[in-house]
Amino acid sequence: MAAGLAACAQVCLGSQTLDRVVASIGDEAITASEVEQEYRFERFLDGQWPPPPPDAAALASAREHLTYQAVLAREENPGPAEKAASEKDAAARLAELRKDYGAPETFQHALAELGMSEPDLLARLAQQELVLRFIDQRLRPAASPSDEDVAAYYRSTFAPEFQRKNHGAAPPPLSEVEAQIRKVLVETRINQLLDEWIGELQPSDRVRVHSF
């Protein structure tokens, strides 16, 4: 018994040294290994497998994503309908992931290297969908651009970019690309509103970021 406890203590102490806390939300800790796993998970979803070694910026981004998820998880309170819809969307994403990896054995090999089972992956995807739905419901109503915003983006960004990529060719009329521009502006505005909202929530959630 004593020998077992001593061995456990050595393992625990070693893990505390190696798996340091790099962020905290109240009493909830985010460790370096969780950030590295989040980085690997994001690369897996992007089809970048095996993942390239992460640099400091990639790890900082993964840490931010985990922090956002933890803060928003404290705010959301999904009902049965939202959970069912998120599980359905997660299943569709899983099917698309399998296609992205081509051969089934390639997908299964990458998933095994990631250290996840298909039920684990489906649960993570469903949680992501819940967060995305929560963000969309909360922020999209305030993110709709005005007609003036759309026209300004067309003049200042879309048309010059189109001409640069197409050797000076005339851009399509605004009426043909308005829906595309509105989508870009909505997503950009939602990201801005999300950053502002997270910034407002962080003090109450006692968010702290530590060095790697």
Is-above-0.85 flag for pTM? no
**Residue predicted with more confidence, 12 or 125:** 125
Among 34-38, 152-156, 194-198, which is the least confidently predicted range?
194-198
pLDDT band at residue 9 under the 50/70/90 scheme: very low
Q: Is the pLDDT of residue 8 over 50?
A: no
pLDDT band at residue 62 under the 50/70/90 scheme: very high
Residue 209: per-residue pLDDT: 83
What is d(CA 129, CA 84) in angstroms, rounded to the nearest whole number? 11
Per DSSP, helices labelled H in 26-117 are 32-45, 56-73, 80-100, 104-114
Encode pLDDT of 14-24 as tens digits: 444 458 999 98
